[in-house]
Amino acid sequence: MQKNFDLIIRHATVIDGTGAPRYSADIGIVGDRIAKIGDLSLSSSKNEIDLQGRVAAPGFIDAHTHDDRMMLSDPEMTPKISQGVTTIIGGNCGVSLAPMPRPIPDPVTPPLNLLDDEGSWFKFPTFASYLSALKAQPATTNRAMLVGHTTLRVAVMDDLESAATPAQIEQMKVLVSEAMQAGAIGVSTGLFYEPAVAAPTEEVIEICRPLKEFNGLYCTHMRDEADGVMDSLEETFRIGREVGVPVVISHHKLIGQKNYGRSDETLAFIQKSMAKQPICLDCYPYAAGSTVLSWSRAVTSARVIVTWSKKLPEYAGQDLDKIAEKMGVSQEEAVEKLLPAGAIYFRMDEGDVQKIMQFGPTMIGSDGLPHDASPHPRLWATFPRVLGHYRRALGLFSLETAVHKMTGLTAVNFGLADRGVLKEGAYADLTLFDDDTVDAVATYENPIALSKGIEMVIVNGEVVWDHGKATGARPGRVLSRPLTRV
């Protein structure tokens, strides 16, 4: 039977996002949904794409981002759509743009300055007002947002160096409830960072209490990803159990030379604990991390590249040892002169990176920092690097598994209904790519570059990326979790 389609994608190799084996089919789209997958040789459409056997996959879901502000300030989201991302999870590591019911301190409290070092974007008094702004001015990608614990602390506490008082905990709980009611999907923490490091486990448990009623998630950049990683996993799982919600271990990694190889230990513990409570995890495909600059982190790293500096922007993109040499000072003194600033730190083991990425339940998230002058290449290249370098060149997993880790698995974990899979009735979020050429181009030296092989990207039935160019369409939506587990 003939049917009218708004778009037909012909001769696709369908990787459906569930991890199931590939098959050949045509895909017919009506409005924002996939209407038919099968043989559409008897149908036609004004808009047709012939893939000639190249891949159609669900649009990639970036499990871990700091795109809260980019969606408003750069709604084209080029670093994301150019690598095939159609949905982002924002508000991670305790850092969200909202709510900020009072003026943010000047200078902006790190690490909130990862989103905006001037402070003018922290202008949303409630989470609802932030989500309204996202809806009023859509970006290219869909988004599901977390509310950040560090943002909540800055919003209600004057002395950030101590634990929150019972009254402050009450205030934060009210803000969490408001955010969840408005459509947030959970709470994130960055217990590794000052000032959140001052928060005891009990503070986190208490402020997360409202999550249970809303089926929210608890996502965490754990307190310790180095020597104390096992204790931090325990703490994370305990918070999940006591609140009664699923936990997401953000960008799981092992930091510092003496912890190299310990992914055997952490993954075994995560696997064992998964039998008892819902646990998810994500990772980015690099052995170097990136965040705000600090001497304590720099001194434990094999190499440090400065990504931005408010006072000395001309040093962005240069190695810290070279900067210190040019300044004629020690590296520690150079850090002082550069602050506030950001950096890339080389202090992980490639073997651990690969084992964590290969671990069945691990999702892919970029953790990209979109406002850094010279960002970590993960901002532009995470997904093509997994598909090109780790899947095709190194053979860590099949194409089906790689796509599952960036689509179907992520949609199930975050409760994004009808996303992350190619099936009839699902939303038409698709990434069309060339399996033989897809790869990262961005590097540490040249971090801003379009990836190879991503041909077209479709969000809610509209083409947003077409062979190297954004089309101007802005069909992205705000996504929420269902109130009950699916």
List contacts with Zn ion (CB under 5 A).
93, 221
Indicate the residue type of 365.
G
Q: How far is the CB of 180 from Zn ion (least distance, A)?
A: 22
Residue 196 or 479 having the CB closest to Zn ion = 196
Residue 66 or 477 having the CB closest to Zn ion = 66
Give the alpha-carbon dihedral of 190, 193, 198, 199, to 10 degrees.
0
The pair of structure tokens assigned to 226 is: 């180095």
Residue 76 or 235 having the CB closest to Zn ion = 235
Closest to 411 (Cα-Cα) out of 5, 59, 37, 14: 59
The pair of structure tokens assigned to 419 is: 């996303």
Q: How far is the CB of 177 from Zn ion (least distance, A)?
A: 25
The pair of structure tokens assigned to 378 is: 């993960």
Residues 6+ apart with CB under 8 A from 204: 149, 189, 191, 239
Element containing residue 60 per DSSP (H, E):
strand 60-62
- Return the percent helix, strand and coil in the chain, to nearest 5: 30, 20, 45
Q: How far is the CB of 229 from Zn ion (least distance, A)?
A: 14
Residue 368 or 415 having the CB closest to Zn ion = 368
Residue 58 or 375 having the CB closest to Zn ion = 375
> Cα(81)–Cα(460) distance, rounded to whole angstroms?
13
Q: How far is the CB of 251 from Zn ion (least distance, A)?
A: 6
> Cα(417)–Cα(426) distance, rounded to whole angstroms?
8
* Inter-residue contact 301 to 345 (CB < 8 Å): yes
The pair of structure tokens assigned to 355 is: 């084992």
Q: How far is the CB of 316 from Zn ion (least distance, A)?
A: 20
> Cα(346)–Cα(342) distance, rounded to whole angstroms?
14
Q: How far is the CB of 190 from Zn ion (least distance, A)?
A: 6
Residue 221 or 376 having the CB closest to Zn ion = 221
Q: How far is the CB of 49 from Zn ion (least distance, A)?
A: 37
* Inter-residue contact 148 to 65 (CB < 8 Å): no
Residue 54 or 221 having the CB closest to Zn ion = 221
Residue 369 or 440 having the CB closest to Zn ion = 369
**Full DSSP string of 206-252:** HHHGGGTTTT-EEEEE-S-SSTTHHHHHHHHHHHHHHHTS-EEETT-
Peptide bond into 340 cis (omega under 30): yes
Q: How far is the CB of 243 from Zn ion (least distance, A)?
A: 20
